[in-house]
Chain A
Amino acid sequence: MKTTARLMLMLLVAPALLWLLGLVVLPHVELGILSLRARVAPRVYEPSLAQFLTFVEEPLYWHTFVRTAVMSILATAITLVLAFPMAWTIAKLVRGKSKSLLFVLCLIPFWVSETVRTLGWMILLRESGVLPAFLVWLGVTAAPVELLYHDATIMVGLVYTSMLFMVIPLISALESLDDSLIEAAYDLGGTGWSILRQIVIPHAAPGIVAGCIVVFMLTLGNYLTPTLLGGKNSQWFTEQIYTQFITRFNWEQGAAFGFLLLGLSTAIVWVGLKVTGQKFGEVMQRS
């Protein structure tokens, strides 16, 4: 009896374990080995930290690295600020049909593939596109301006892509907040701002942190949006990885960059959790 139950459990867990082992752990082990060796002659390799040294010595690489981290944090913050009122509206202010309608409206852009969505932004923003033409028509600018290939453009694209992943955990966090807590705080003399700071945000903290982690990781690892909207100026770290693997065929360097990015995201998430006093397990249950 007991062995049957155990067998069942093994069978149930097996697909997930296979997935983890085959698609996550094994490639990373392989990449780890790749990143720690150097080619000394054709087909001859020896253990080395040369790739990591190159990263430290070449300003372009770590400049891109820091820039990617800062832009990702900024994008996460902007997404949070924009998503919070949206989530509040959906969770607390509207009821019934309009609630599901608003929720579906958040979801609809995700029915289209990310590539198509990003190309849509390009059609809107390029020099001969819709928005520059509209600005000329309004008389704001004399000639069409190029709105693509700016940092702000990348930011818009990243925030737009990430919005849903912030809104969903926020909605579930805010929905679980009992309205009478807000009323009680108001009744006891609280004002809008103090209630937000002392009641709403502490309650929603796990949801906020969950949304931020997901959005931050998606943004940091995003390749398409920075490349298409930022063009050559985007300087996104994933592009460096792509270049090493595909253009330069330097898999060793690409693998080292991959691990650096993994380390970076882990470090920033860890700092974020420490600063907000949240526990990873609790946060992940909320998302």
Chain B
Amino acid sequence: MSTSTLATPASPGDAPPDLQARRVAKHYGAFHAVDNLSFEVARGSFFSILGPSGCGKTTLLRVIAGFIEPDAGAVHIGGKPMQGVPPNKRPVNMVFQHLALFPMMSVGDNVGYGLARRGVAKDEIQRRVGEMLERVSLAGAQAKRVDQLSGGQKQRVAIARSLVLEPTLLLLDEPLGALDLKLREHMKIELKALQAAFGTTFVYITHDQSEALVLSDHVAVMNHGRFEQVGTPQQLYYEPQTPFVAGFVGANNRLVGHATEVRGSAVTVTSAQGLVLAARAIGPVSQGAVVEAFVRPEVVRLARDSGVLADAGWPAYTARVSSLLFDGANSAVLLTELQSGTEFRIALPQTGEFANLGVGETVAFGFDPQRAVCFATGPASAVA
């Protein structure tokens, strides 16, 4: 996918973007950690960089923060070039993965650290630290020790410590990674509220797609040092532009096969196992091309009677239930399609209709061909 895709939404006031990266590259030997990346982040937005570990997102963040000098390209923050500007002189602050609160200082001293380094007067520091702690709902916590705080409170102190300096940009390096699931869910909501309240531009990196989708205005999906796709969470989910994005964002059933019939964007795919399915082409797909098709578990409809599917005009398949994965609202069922033996993961509707579904039962399933996508991954071959 093109790496020059802009993340800018139509910015109303024509304010310059808070972060601009132009052809930024960083290599380690032959390994391209960041490969010729260009993007912009609009003022006041919440921008996430989502990618698997080792995709270069941490390197990119450290380039923006100034801890790593890029081999090529330029980073502009708040419209100013950042080449040769050390981290302590950049209008950027970072919330570290394990927060990196100073254990040898009180909460108040932690939050006031940056102000003291700027030579702000003592009573002014006290006033601003007090205000900031109030804004993150930790009023009066100045004298507490860091180890007296809960995980969520530490998180808020770390953010307060950065935001008290009024940075143009706040970088967050997977700050929720170390928290347990319940707290993580809670902190997601809190982070989004904090960002909305302060209006500071947030650049957030994570490998957790749920964090990226829930929090962000725009998400860049990163792989092998490049952005596969930049877009709103909805665009990434509904309109993935590359097979990687389709496979990485949300859960997906992936089928590899050939395009046996192409009519506009409607493609008939015959999988290697012999399953025939209809899907919507993203990008050019020619007759006979090697394709990857993706069907989300949640777009598939399960039915005990295939007539329901025929009424909707959808192709129907017959399958045997091979396993039930009960997980409350996220329950799924593993099916084996009878003719080809293809495995399918399908979200189990929690309407009660399938509460008594048993392993070994034969059911019908189908999906809207518009909701399944396919990508050409190789040239046409004679096999088709």
Q: Give A contacts to B, CB under 8 Å.
A: 178, 180-181, 183-191, 194, 198-199, 202-203
Contacts and interface: CB of A to CB of B under 8 A. Distances in A.
28 contacts: A180-B97, A180-B100, A183-B87, A184-B96, A184-B102, A185-B102, A185-B113, A186-B87, A187-B65, A187-B67, A187-B92, A187-B94, A188-B93, A188-B161, A188-B165, A189-B88, A189-B118, A190-B88, A190-B113, A191-B88, A191-B117, A198-B102, A198-B104, A198-B113, A199-B104, A202-B104, A203-B103, A203-B104
A207 B253 CA distance: 56
| Residue among A183, A187, A194 having the largest count of chain B Cβ atoms under 10 Å | A187
A188 B104 contact: no
A187 B88 contact: yes
Contacts, number: 57
Given A178-B100, A186-B87, A203-B104, 5 more contacts: A180-B100, A188-B114, A189-B117, A190-B117, A198-B105
Given A189-B88, A202-B104, A178 B113 contact: no
A280 to B, nearest CB: 20
Contacts of A181: 100, 102
A189 B165 CA distance: 10
B97 A188 contact: no
B162 interface: yes
A202 B86 CA distance: 25
A178 B65 CA distance: 18
Interface string B72-105: 0000000000000011100011101110101111
A189 B162 CA distance: 10
Interface string B98-135: 10101111000000011001100000000000000000
A194 B109 CA distance: 14
A203 to B, nearest CB: 6
Contact of A187 (B87, B97, B98, B103): B87
A183 B103 CA distance: 14
B65 A188 contact: no
A162 to B, nearest CB: 27
A194 B114 CA distance: 11
A184 B159 CA distance: 12
Contacts of A184: 94, 96, 100, 102
A185 B103 CA distance: 12
Contacts of A186: 86-88
A269 B113 CA distance: 32
Contacts of B67: 183, 187
Contacts of B114: 188-189
Nearest to B118: A189
Contacts of B86: 186
Nearest to A203: B104
Contacts of A180: 96-98, 100
Contact of B96 (A183, A189, A198, A203): A183
A181 B93 CA distance: 13
Contacts of A202: 104
Contact of B98 (A178, A189, A198, A199): A178
Contacts of B103: 203
Chain A to chain B: the 4 pairs with minimum beta-carbon distance, closest first: A184-B100, A188-B114, A189-B117, A202-B104
A199 B100 contact: no
Nearest to A191: B88
Nearest to A180: B100
Nearest to B92: A187
Contacts of B97: 180
Contacts of A187: 65, 67, 87-88, 92-94
Interface in B236-271: none
Nearest to A192: B88
B205 to A, nearest CB: 15
A181 B105 CA distance: 12
A188 B88 contact: yes
Nearest to A194: B117
A186 B92 CA distance: 11
Nearest to B97: A180
A278 to B, nearest CB: 13
Contacts of B113: 185, 188, 190, 198
Nearest to B93: A187
A146 to B, nearest CB: 49
Contacts of B118: 189
Interface in B313-342: none
